[in-house]
Structure 1
């Protein structure tokens, strides 16, 4: 009996001396993209460009030398998109391995300047400038547009009546009112941004607002659709731009 107890004691002493086995810890993603934006022809750096890593909700700007860093990324395939004033939108596919750092120069192509002969008799009114900008964005083919003629033909009571049939947009309503908009390609409970007459809208802007005075609507369902002038740093859920007849006064 004494010998058995001696063996048990020795086993317990040996077990106590062994190092403990630590539970595996989840390692945060450490892959990164180190890039530099340049003009494809002059090789000059492109600073203050808006850069987004689609699918990772990363958005940042290039510095004065065109440099940028997107870090804390998991391994996988990403689409990096850059927008800069005077340049066409650039998109590149980047593949990252575990803890890999991809260093690359990204080239942007300057937009051509085509000037037609123009005879200016008077300065355009602010309303005319807004309408021309609206039509220019509509002609680009990005986003979904609702014109004044379409609004008049629909006879809508509220904004929700105009947004209900927009492709890629889901209306979530509690009863006859209190509706919210969700872009189908955005995460759940992701609230869209509203822009009213060119300015960020207040919290009172919603799909339940009356359509009286609305003369145009622009719906941008993804980050890549949204024009530069309507982008914000936290803009990942889509943007609805509303134009009214009672916009800012003429200067």
Structure 2
């Protein structure tokens, strides 16, 4: 005989529903951490997800697996004794099972000092990306190595804190008004950026201090911004930020609250 649920039981079901749905849509990343010189697997390397706090260690063959990833962009930090630390951002669709081999440069090699020791590759063969000479702005600090690396490619548009101050920018929107391919939609006294090549209503993805933050990103005070990257379309977006929303553009914001990477 069917009986209606009491309010307490109904509350339990409602509370558990989002959790069950998230579990059903969860993505996973697996692969190997490899020595960029020898191509051999690195034992006991750590792969940490900055966006969720999850982590995994590699086995004797350098293999790892991380489950329970929410759909979206996740940042992975990889470290191992005797190697330069690396980082990569990957975009996941719901239920996606991604497999990647990732390389770390031995700490003694010249490439390791460039702070770009991690590359994503096909599972069949790990493949290092071409090195790009980078001259870092000393005022930005070590955590801006990725900012400088991407700026050196010539893709996207960039502003440092010094450039924002020289332009007398009072808001984030002010800072982007002179950028090509950017327009603004204003309603209720609030203006939001939108890329010219994006469909109407398609908002750009905001990455704040290496985390996706579409809620706080558009309202960050200009005084808190120390670096700004704007990619107006899928053809401009770097691989680490590519995903389902890359066609809407990506705005990367570096703030004074961000942390310097730890020294090994």
TM-score, structure 2 length as denominator?
Answer: 0.46
Q: Which has the higher helix share?
A: 2
TM-score, structure 1 length as denominator?
Answer: 0.49
Higher Cα radius of gyration: 1
